[in-house]
Structure 1
Amino acid sequence: MRTIAQISDLHFGAHDPAIVAHLHAALSAIRPDLIVVSGDLTQRARKEQFAEAALFFERLETEGLRLLVVPGNHDVPMHKPVQRLFWPLRRYTRFIARGRSGWYCDAELAVLGLASAHGLTVKDGRLTRVQIRSIGDHFAAVPSSAARILVTHHPLVPLPGEEKGEIEPALRGARRALKAVKAADVHLVLAGHHHVPGVSLSGPTLSIDPGVMVVQAGTATSWRRRRTPNSFNLLILASPSEVQVEEWISEGGAFSCPAPRRSFSRSAGDSGGWASTPAA
């Protein structure tokens, strides 16, 4: 059994310091096998904001926790057009990416992080053809016993928005990326960006491949919560086809998991897919 904590949209610079401390305490107590950070580490990609994020990550790593991090659109400078055009992720690389890999793989777990934030995308995201080809390249040698997971900041599929009937668009290049995801037999896609947590499966309102589960994270530490509490996801993987998801929330104090754990199973075969498993 492996555990992954998915934290997202930290937004250092628009964060609540008390919630940051509570998040640190929760992750230290849970001690997941991997902490996945799905983008928007900063509010405006400023040096001091990246430095705060880096310090938070270093404290976790000092305690022996492993991190995999991808940038978000807020980690690209908004008001510096030259830097945004030619070196959009320079500060992210300097403070965050250096010494950290976007790829983790062992006999039970394979996780690939791709940067969907680019200089010309502003708020929206995209995956380039080179990035999409890398999905197949990375997962080609992964053992069949391993759960396969892709991490981006922007979601690969359209998802429900804040208002009734609203649908948020997928990132650019999503159609090609989803073909690569299916060809590589990726099981889970993790993302952030919308500050609204949830698990999405194939259904009448969302065009998701049945073999792919989409797990969205809320904002872990920002006060820009969009009427939801600060939260992070804890994924418990008994096998590549058995996943349980817990949503840990903070209403200003310590993080806890008040709602029941949600269980999902993935049926075998080309026509198989994910489905919610009734509680025992």
Structure 2
Amino acid sequence: MTRLFHVSDVHFGREDRAALDWFAARVREEQPDAVIVTGDLTMQARAKEFSAAAQWLKGLGRPVTVEVGNHDLPWFNPWARFVAPYRRYHALERMIERPLDVKGVAVVPLKTTARFQWRLDWSKGYVSGRALRASLALVEAVPPGGLVFVACHHPLVEGGTRTTSETHCGAQALDALARAGVDAVLTGHVHDPFDIERRIGERTVRLIGAGTLSERVRARPPSFNELSVAGTGFSTRARFMGEGSVAL
């Protein structure tokens, strides 16, 4: 059996230290096959926040892939946002948008952030044609026989949570990914976990959202998702700090 720990919205700068320590302890004791981080490592994309995040992630001692979240783009420095938005990710460059292949599961990145959007709220999601084509190419390169998960920050469609993603071109991207053979899309952003099914053509795709390990909780306490894969099937449990776990 393959086990993946899916965590999101750590928000260094507004992190919950107890939640971070709790998650790190679970990783050390249970040794998952990989850790998937679906964005918002930082609160304000400051160098010291990225440095703290890099140190924490490296300390987990497991294969890690990290997606970029809207909070990871500079906000107070327009030049950095538009010209070099990922410069401060240098300490994490080997983890950023890193495809993973672990025991029958391929994890493919999809970028859903944008430096600029034609709407007032730039925190919401956006899937560009270029980003989608890049992800589809990676999906098509996966050898047949295993599961394919896509990891991105924003839910491509809404998951019924208090916070919304309103991802432009998200539904179209989900349709294309499903038709390419993707089995699940792992996301963050909304700070509450969910696992819903979406029927697209002849396929059913699971949409799985992780909670947060920051102080910025919504309806539920700090949590992460545990995905257990056996053959061509998998299950998801949300594990809450201090409250046990719940099957999603």
After TM superposition, the score normalised by the length of structure 2 is 0.90
Pairwise CA distance, 1:101: 5.4
Pairwise CA distance, 1:175: 3.2
Q: Find the aligned partners of 2:98 and 2:193 in 1 and give their Cα distance.
A: 23
Pairwise CA distance, 1:100: 5.3
Distance 1:209 1:17, change over 3 A: farther
| Aligned ranges 1:106-185 → 2 under 5 Å | 108-121=104-117, 122-162=122-162, 168-185=164-181
| 1:212 equivalent in alignment to 2:205 | yes
Q: Specify the alignment match of 1:272 in structure 2.
A: none
Kindly provide the amino acid, as one letter, of the partner of residue 178 in structure 2.
Answer: K
Q: Spell out structure 1 runs of 4+ moving beyond 4 A.
A: 207-210
Kindly provide the amino acid, as one letter, of the partner of residue 218 in structure 1.
Answer: G
Q: Specify the alignment match of 1:102 in structure 2.
A: 98
| Aligned ranges 1:177-256 → 2 under 5 Å | 177-202=173-198, 211-219=204-212, 221-240=213-232, 242-251=233-242
Distance 1:43 1:209, change over 3 A: farther
- Conservation of the 8 A alpha-carbon contact between 2:9 and 2:214: yes
Gaps of 5+ in 1: 263-280
- Conservation of the 8 A alpha-carbon contact between 1:158 and 1:170: yes
| 1:7 equivalent in alignment to 2:7 | yes
**Secondary structure of 1:95's aligned partner:** helix
Kindly provide the amino acid, as one letter, of the partner of residue 98 in structure 2.
Answer: G
Pairwise CA distance, 1:32: 1.0
> Greater CA radius of gyration, 1 or 2?
1
Kindly provide the amino acid, as one letter, of the partner of residue 43 in structure 1.
Answer: M
Root-mean-square deviation (CA, aligned residues, Å) is 2.2
What are the superposed Cα offsets for residues 189-240 of structure 1, whole Å, 9 maximum, x if unpaired?
A: 000000011111238xxx9995110000000x21110131000000001123
Q: 2:78 aligns with which of 81, 99, 102?
A: 81
Kindly provide the amino acid, as one letter, of the partner of residue 215 in structure 1.
Answer: I
Q: Specify the alignment match of 2:42 in structure 1.
A: 42
Q: Find the aligned partners of 2:103 and 2:24 in 1 and give their Cα distance.
A: 28
Gaps of 5+ in 2: none
Identity between Structure 1 and Structure 2 (%): 30
Q: Find the aligned partners of 2:189 and 2:155 in 1 and give their Cα distance.
A: 8
